[in-house]
């Protein structure tokens, strides 16, 4: 059964998201909506409530780890092939997790990275003073 979420809202629409108990149910809901409205919805499991919601598909944002840049967690950052891909991924994360991420070009020419810091380069410049 699907129902309206009590905890999760679309960040753009501010409407409650539809939640499903299982991936199968979410997939059925997605198939139905995709047929009816010619959308491209895909199920995903929510970090916040653990239930399944639907998100607009085309979430494939090709990326590979950059072997030069590490994030605050010490892991190599994901490098996206184009600014559009990086921005798409940032939008998805904002929609799903409510985090605001900035897109910037890799210093080593390996593509595009996301950062939680909105002004990564200003910080760096200050460090040289
Ligand atoms: Zn949720
Ligand atoms: Zn990099």
10-45 pLDDT tens trace: 877 789 999 999 999 999 999 998 898 877 888 889
For residue 89, how far is its CA from the centre of ligand 2 (angstroms)? 16
Please report the pLDDT score of residue 103 as a whole number: 95
In terms of domains, do 83 and 110 share one? yes
77 and 107, same structural domain? yes
| Residue 93 belongs to domain spanning | 63-127
Ligand of minimum distance to the alpha carbon of 48: 1
pLDDT band at 120 (very low <50, low <70, confident <90, very high): very low
Question: Which ligand is closest in space to the CA of residue 105?
Answer: 2
Statement to judge: residues 20 and 38 lie in one domain: yes
**Mean pLDDT within 100-116:** 94
Confidence (pTM): 0.50
pLDDT for the residue numbered 60: 65
Asked which of 40, 56, 72 is the last residue of a domain, the reply is 56
Q: What long-range pairs does 65-69 form, CB within 8 A, spacing at least 24?
A: 66/106, 66/108, 66/110, 66/111, 66/113, 67/110, 68/106, 68/107, 68/108, 68/110, 69/106, 69/107, 69/108, 69/110, 69/113
Tell me, yes or no, whether 97 and 50 share the same domain: no
Q: How many domains does the chain have?
A: 2
Residue 66 CA to ligand 2 centre (angstroms): 5
pLDDT over 90 at 118, yes or no:
no
pLDDT digits (tens, 9 = 90+) for 91-101: 888 887 888 99
* Percent of the chain with pLDDT strictly greater than 70: 87
């Amino acid at each position: 059964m699907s129902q309206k979420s009590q905890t999760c809202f679309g960040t753009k629409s501010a409407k409650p998201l539809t939640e499903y108990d299982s991936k199968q149910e979410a997939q059925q809901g997605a198939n139905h909506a995709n047929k009816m409205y010619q959308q491209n919805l895909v199920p995903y499991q929510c970090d916040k409530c653990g239930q399944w919601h639907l998100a607009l598909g085309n979430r494939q944002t090709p990326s590979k780890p950059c072997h030069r840049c590490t994030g605050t967690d010490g892991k190599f950052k994901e490098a996206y092939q184009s600014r559009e891909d990086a921005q798409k991924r940032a939008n998805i994360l904002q929609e799903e997790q409510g985090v605001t991420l900035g897109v910037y070009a890799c210093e080593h020419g390996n593509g595009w990275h996301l950062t939680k810091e909105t002004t990564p380069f200003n910080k760096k410049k200050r460090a040289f003073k």
